[in-house]
Amino acid sequence: MVGKVALITGSAKGLGKKTALMLAEQGCHIALNYVHSEAEAEALRTEIAATGVRCIAVRADVSRRDEIEALVEEIRGSLGPVDILVNNAGPFIRERKLFADYSQQEILAMIDGNLVGTMLLDHLVLPDMRRKGWGRIIHFGFGHAAESRAWPHRAVYAAAKTGLVSFTKTLAVEEASFGITVNMVCPGDIRGRNKEISIREARGLSDGETPLGRPGSGEDIARVISFLCHHDSDFITGNIMDISGGLDPIRPWVKPS
């Protein structure tokens, strides 16, 4: 992957940051993206650039078409066309509430940020990928998203992500002949600091909710994304991959007595 240009949305911190660092280790030039976390993005840009690859940090809200277009143009002008697109960014309302209690603004923001923006960003990078005959697109879902089950108190988020499941599979079929793969990773319930820790660090922690017995880490997710982006992973496309340690977010695991 040396010399490939990778755009990771929402990459100033969390899972996006860990993914950016790992792809940089593989030799990719990195385009970071943020909305509010400018200081964190600049610090990460400096860290990645010090490894010898090129790196830029661009502010853009992926739910806004005009900002997405400007994002892709800036990357093309600074680093070149996008070869790898990791659609990590997406709003999530942690407060649990019924669909009837959402405002229309919240509904539209969740759909635009998690589904429409992703589709539009994919649409913008596809022409360059087709011309090169190579590309990797990664979408983010949630555990068991492919099953499209009911998820009470998460109606809008779940609807957006399960819609993205179908789009992932369709786009994978349509773009396979152009050398472009499209896959979805579905992280488990990885929270807070754990999004940026290593697997080694996670193994030193316990998590009674996860059948594996430890929490997930950012490295767990980044390793899978790096594998999917590899040149020789071209036969893997249209897949929805759970990386959750066996955790089911809708039907929690009950520890045997």
pLDDT, tens only, 140-195 = 998 888 888 888 999 999 999 999 999 999 999 999 999 999 999 999 888 899 99
Q: With respect to residue 18, please indicate whether it lies within any of the assigned structural domains.
A: yes
For residue 132, the model assigns a pLDDT of 97
The confidence band for 17, taking pLDDT boundaries of 50, 70 and 90, is: very high
The pTM for the full model equals 0.93
- Whether the CB-CB separation of 126 and 77 falls below 8 Å is answered with no
For residues 124 and 75, what is the distance between their CA atoms, to the nearest angstrom? Answer: 12
Q: With respect to residue 250, please indicate whether it lies within any of the assigned structural domains.
A: no
For residue 201, the model assigns a pLDDT of 94
What share of the chain in percent tops pLDDT 90? 82
For residue 69, the model assigns a pLDDT of 97
What is the average per-residue pLDDT within 32-45? 96
For residue 255, the model assigns a pLDDT of 59
Q: With respect to residue 249, please indicate whether it lies within any of the assigned structural domains.
A: no
For residue 208, the model assigns a pLDDT of 81
Q: With respect to residue 138, please indicate whether it lies within any of the assigned structural domains.
A: yes
Residue 154 Cα distances to 3, 77, 88, angstroms: 39, 39, 18
Looking at the predicted structure, is the pLDDT value of residue 254 above 60?
Answer: no
Total of domains in the chain:
1
Sheet holding 240-243, edge to edge: 55-59, 29-34, 5-8, 84-87, 135-140, 180-187, 240-243
For residue 209, the model assigns a pLDDT of 81
* Domain encompassing residue 114: 5-243
Could you tell me the CATH number of the domain that includes residue 202?
Answer: 3.40.50.720
Q: With respect to residue 255, please indicate whether it lies within any of the assigned structural domains.
A: no
For residues 203 and 55, what is the distance between their CA atoms, to the nearest angstrom? Answer: 31
Q: With respect to residue 257, please indicate whether it lies within any of the assigned structural domains.
A: no
Q: With respect to residue 237, please indicate whether it lies within any of the assigned structural domains.
A: yes
Q: With respect to residue 12, please indicate whether it lies within any of the assigned structural domains.
A: yes
The confidence band for 20, taking pLDDT boundaries of 50, 70 and 90, is: very high
Residue 238 Cα distances to 39, 119, 164, 166, angstroms: 36, 15, 11, 9
User: Nearest-CA neighbor of 113 among 131, 95, 140, 137?
Assistant: 140
Beta strands in 51-193 (DSSP E): 55-59, 84-87, 135-140, 180-187
DSSP letter at 234 equals: T
Give alpha helix (H) positions in 143-186: 155-175
